[in-house]
Structure 1
Amino acid sequence: MPRELARTLQRSLTHLKPPPVKGGKFQLPLPTHFRPTPAFVQVKDRIPFWHVAPGDRVKLVKGSSEVKGKVGVVDRVDRETNRVYLKEPEFAAKKRQFSEYPGQQLEPDFAGSGDAGGTYTVARPFHVSNVRLQVRDGEHEYTATRTRKSKVTWDRRNRRFAWKRYVLVPELGAGDESGWRELPWPKEDVPTSTPTARDMTSTTTLPSWIPDLSALSLAPSRADLPRLPTKPIALADGAPPELQVSQLDLGGSYYSRASRTRRFNERKAAEKEYGKGVMKQKAKDVRRGKLPEGAIAW
């Protein structure tokens, strides 16, 4: 699934759609040396509504002795293969040289800059059943053993499915108190509208020149304008230099092509409306018998 959707809360059920037909213009299979083929998960075996989201702290309960029992933060989820990726480097695959697999640096999971020996790390996926959610209660952190969800509804404001998740923590269940706790969803990184340095620069670099408007009363009237738009305007003595422009620069002359075309279209539209009214009145007179049948020429 796309990486941008794997790093956000679940919004749709697109991961339950059947896979496209292999091949074609936009579904060409990648070479095998780019990445190992992931295990395909049938649509009926995929999790419809996930209880693990990017940003959750989870504990790995199954795996090698190097990572088993460690706590990490979920970086992204792959809802099509029921796997999660953790941010911490200790959960990544073993370091290896990128020359072992040609084209490895072009993989989406390639996240290493390399060291002096030319070694790199690649994120390693873990099945979602091998991780347990971590619950924070005061200064202590507990591991949940079970999870369940509330009724699923559609959030019209955020345009996604919404539900609450509850986790069972045996350590918090003492006496009559139940060990079930509501676990809030992690907050997403929403882009803010705070002005950046570039926005501030564009705001402060606006033109600050203000023309002198004290002598604009000397501007010529429409009757004094020449009929030819490109002909210079005859200005009075003492007129400001701001008026030394052509008629077209002042918003368009009365005799310019644009103005004449606009007036022509307006006149044609008025004639059309007038003709419609006349024909409508004649048709009404014919129906009433005031005019003969051949009085209207279509």
Structure 2
Amino acid sequence: MTSARMHLVTLLIILTAAGAIYGAIGQIKSSVGQDPFLFLRLLTTSQQPLPSFVAFLGFLLPLVGIALGFDAVNGEYNRRTMSRILSQPIYRDALLAGKFLGGLTVIGICLVTLWLLITGMGILTLGLPPSGEEILRGIAFLITSLAYAGVWLAVALLFSTIFRSPATSALAALTLWLVLTLFWGMIAPLLASLFAPVNPYDPMTAVHQVEVAHAIARLSPNTLYGETMLALLNPATRTLGLVFVSQLEGAVIGAPLPFGQSLLLIWPQLSGLIAAMILVYTIAYVIFQRQEIRA
């Protein structure tokens, strides 16, 4: 908590959040009394050249997770302190769990602090308190963001366990982040066209290809996080996939969904993020348990 790395990461997040919220407040002041979800708009509204706060988090949370975990294990080897730590009456799994939970706790503290700051700024500038629905969606937003950051913290911990050089583990984690964030949206349609080619005489094959492309795109934590934020912070969102005209019969277009319905909508994405975090951490755990540690 007192390291220079932690101070720099916290300062970076606070500065970017302050810039994004300042631009959002200027945009939504005119809709006070008309929009029932003003505090959600604080997180999603952008003003050029600044993106929205959620867009900032989608970019920064992986970097924060990687920064906190890329040298968690191999740093102990390089400082020759691993054997000293494990000579104490503690287990190997306790060491790795402490590294992971420590980083996750730090990220959680940052997220809760940011959310409280944003809520306080909104109350002071808009003159309205958040509703119960907005508070519930804000808590779900915090849980989802923590799971998203936990995935990349676990990835950094895994590479820190595999590679003995911190520079190599950091580079490997950043490379994976770049592929899954910037290039995966281009790779998914190409893979879908290979696995599910379109038959010009069967229109349903085009629908199947789009569904396959969505499924492949959801292998990226960035896609899962973006879809979850869309459904949580925009209550009018009713689906995260293809919609046919027949499915819209009887639906009130633009009407917000209750929080419970939005939670059901994002449950597969949120479960996927949590499962990915647990899976990557488990792989790191198995590798670390099998490593030989010498004095």
- Shorter chain as denominator, the TM-score bin is under 0.3
Structure showing greater relative contact order (alpha-carbon pairs closer than 8 Å, 6 or more residues apart):
2
Larger Rg: 1
TM-score, L = length of structure 2? 0.21
Higher normalized strand content (fraction of residues): 1
TM-score, L = length of structure 1? 0.21
Higher normalized helix content (fraction of residues): 2
